[in-house]
Amino acid sequence: MRTIAVPVANRPECAVALDVAFPLAAKLGSDVIGYHIRPNRR
C-alpha cells in the first residue's frame, strides 16, 4: 500500500501540493491523505 501525505491549510502552497499529489497518486495507484496540524495553545 502506498500513501501520499499532504499538508492541507488555507495556503497557496498546500493547493499546489494537492495539485501534484492527486495525479501522482493516480499514476502510482496510491492513496492521498490530507492532514492539518496546528500548535497547541496551552
What is the model's pTM?
0.76
CA angle (17 as vertex; 3, 36 as ends), nearest 5: 70
Distance of alpha carbon 17 from alpha carbon 29, whole angstroms? 17
Instruction: Round to whole Å and give the CA distance between 19 and 23.
Output: 7
Residue 16 forms part of a structural domain: yes
User: Is residue 18 within 8 Å of 8, Cβ to Cβ?
Assistant: yes
Q: Where are the beta strands (DSSP E) in the chain?
A: 3-7, 31-35
Evaluate whether residue 39 is within a structural domain.
no
Count of domains forming the chain: 1
pLDDT (0 to 100) of residue 38 = 81
For the chain, the maximum distance between any two Cα atoms, rounded to a whole number of angstroms, is 42
Decide if 8 is inside a domain: yes
- Indicate whether 41 belongs to any domain: no
Q: Show the domain range for 7.
A: 3-33
In a domain, 9, yes or no: yes
pLDDT in tens, 1-42: 799 999 998 889 999 999 999 999 999 999 999 999 888 887
**pLDDT at res. 3:** 95
In a domain, 40, yes or no: no
In a domain, 21, yes or no: yes
